[in-house]
Amino acid sequence: MATAGKVIKCKAAVAWEPDKPVVMEEIEVAPPQANEVRIKIVATSVCHTDLYHLFERMNKDSFPTVLGHEAAGIVESVGPGVTEFQPGDKVIPLFLSQCKECSLCKNPKTNQCEVAWTRINQEMMASVESRFTCKGKKVLQFMGTSTFSEYTVINQVAVAKIDPAAPLDKVCLLGCGICTGYGAAVNTAKVEPGSTCAVFGLGAVGLAAVMGCKNAGAKRIIAVDTNPDKFEKAKVFGATEFVNPKDHDKPIHEVVTDMTNGGVDFSLECVGNVEVMRSTLLSSAQGWGVSVIVGWTDMHDVAIRPVQLIAGRTWKGSLFGGFKSKDGVPKMVKAYMEKKLKLDEFITHNMTLDQVNDAIELLKDSKCIRTVLSVSPQ
């Protein structure tokens, strides 16, 4: 392409400081260095992790940054040493890398990657290096991706090549939320046919977890949320019952336990709230229940009495649904293309990148499931 090897000036939504609206700016995106890929972002969506960083963590050293990590795009150019990708490839950026070389990548028991935690500064939730500048200042790349930009540069270990026929404005959702919830059910919990499940929190991740439970053959899926408007949506993905904690005068785990004669086989927490994590664990059956923490937070401790685990429950955590990212995402795209996976049903709003603050407010106010932002023409 004509832009290969040159600095690209383009539009991006820059978060200059925490708890403030992002600002549409012209940024400079440097050419990819060794083992890097520069991508034209076609579509991106807003995820709760973007909101968490902007409104909850409030770490001033983590700004300015360009948020966004759930996206799809087209390779514009590649740096030296890149052989897996070429200009024109359709790709999905990955916040969790898969180098395929380290001991973790070679271990089938985990989807962690040693490179991920050398590439990303966890304290700042950003790449150690950045190819972005704006008004002469270095701008951080959130989660190593930064997809609220017309162009971004990402290490090749954190990019997945996908089916060229895939609609980017749909499969962009597989960059985070849908894989996270779906995989938590099928990969981490390992939901079994005929089982009873409870999913706490019916945002996109929770609804994807409901879909995972359904596809795994669960016979009963109890959806738990304080917003009664979510149930109709949850039914679309396979929920069989809905419980609103506000409708009961006793703890929600007691309600679920009573409904299921002792607790569910599998429970999944998809909120990122430590009290909900505790309730989710206690909703699982004492002798064999498996409970999975899916929601993200590092703000508080979660408390539990040892006897609540000693009795036989298993408590697990799940990052990106347990998927090894470069392997798993293309398979999820294939499943969508084969109509074995719902994606369109998660999309409640479509906007453009310059409406990103409106999209952020919709998610903040729980008035959407996913808003897809059109960033660049294909």
Q: Is the Cβ–Cβ distance between 127 and 144 less than 8 Å?
A: yes
What is the per-residue pLDDT for 277? 95
What is the per-residue pLDDT for 126? 74
**What is d(CA 225, CA 328) in angstroms, rounded to the nearest whole number?**
29
What is the per-residue pLDDT for 300? 85
**What is d(CA 75, CA 297) in angstroms, rounded to the nearest whole number?**
32
Residues with Cβ within 8 Å of residue 305, at least 6 apart in sequence: none
Q: Is the Cβ–Cβ distance between 130 and 139 less than 8 Å?
A: yes
Mean pLDDT, 10 residues at a time, over the chain (378 residues)? 88 94 96 96 93 80 93 97 96 96 96 86 76 94 95 96 97 97 98 98 97 98 95 96 96 97 97 93 96 88 90 95 97 97 97 96 92 92
What is the per-residue pLDDT for 1? 61
Q: Which DSSP string do the residues of 155-189 spell out, in sequence order?
A: EGGGEEE--TTS-HHHHGGGGTHHHHHHHIIIIII
Amino acid letter at 280? T
Residues with Cβ within 8 Å of residue 87, at least 6 apart in sequence: 1, 4, 75, 76, 77, 78
**What is d(CA 199, CA 269) in angstroms, rounded to the nearest whole number?**
6
Q: Is the Cβ–Cβ distance between 172 and 157 less than 8 Å?
A: no
Cβ atoms < 10 Å from Cβ of 3: 16
**What is d(CA 70, CA 308) in angstroms, rounded to the nearest whole number?**
36
Through-space distance between the first and last CA atoms of the chain, rounded to whole angstroms:
14
